Amino acid sequence: MSTIVRSLPRRATKRRRSRTPYPLDVVYAQAGIDPPLTTPLAPERIPSPYRSLLVHERDMTLTLEEHFGGRVTLRALSTFHDGRSYFRRVLLVQEYSARPVEMGAIRIDLDAFKARIRGAILRNKVPLGRLLRDGGVDYKSRPTQFLSVKPNSEMMGVFWMREPRTLFGRQTAMSVDGRKIGDIVEILPLV
């Protein structure tokens, strides 16, 4: 596992016209890997059990832990700073089996948090939802788009897939006290 901690050149962080939602496009560009192909999808077209795991405004970490029957831990795949924003591509895995349960691409405004929370985010040990919940941060995570995902070979590897099959995910906007503090793309493996 490689962790990158450096700033992106200004031109690389500007949003490009892409079918890949932000910040998934940026974290893959930074890693030098072609992103998976994504297509917007109406929530009612998402099959079960993915729909119950994606179409809600609850804490995603808690939702995954309830569904998979135990705590999940975080593995950072890559991280980097760009100005006030911190980007990371992470894999959430079951604590007891290391089975992948989500891949996330996150852009978060670190200035929105007190030093203790900022430090915990930068240590990349605890899933963001649990960290914020346990830290008493009253945040909202609102889905803005649902996705059908054709995984690339890298994603197939982190999800232990032998052949490409359609995956599902969502893009969310995070806010605290009505102020947007982050963007997340969450993609689920085969369940």
Q: How many CB atoms lie within 10 A of CB 71?
A: 13
Strand 139-150 with 100-109, pairing: unpaired
Place of tokens 């297509």: 39
At 19 the pLDDT is 77
At 46 the pLDDT is 98
User: How many angstroms from the chain centroid is the CA of residue 39?
Assistant: 17
Element (H, E) at 125: none
E-state strands within 48-178: 72-82, 85-94, 100-109, 139-150, 167-176
Q: Taking the chain (191 residues) in consecutive chunks of 10 residues, what is each chunk's mean pLDDT?
A: 41 50 96 96 97 95 95 97 95 96 97 95 95 93 96 96 96 95 97 92
Residue type for position 82: D
Answer for the pair 89, 103: CB distance below 8 angstroms, yes or no. yes
CA torsion sign, 178 to 125 to 29 to 104?
A: negative
* Residue closest to 12 by CA, chosen among 81, 69, 72, 73: 81
Q: How many CB atoms lie within 10 A of CB 144?
A: 11
CB-count exposure of residue 106 (10 Å: 0-12, 13-18, 19+): buried
At 157 the pLDDT is 96
Which domains does the chain possess?
10-188 (3.40.1410.10)
Q: pTM above 0.85?
A: yes
Element (H, E) at 179: strand 179-188
80 φ/ψ angles, rounded to the nearest 5 degrees: -165, 160
At 166 the pLDDT is 97
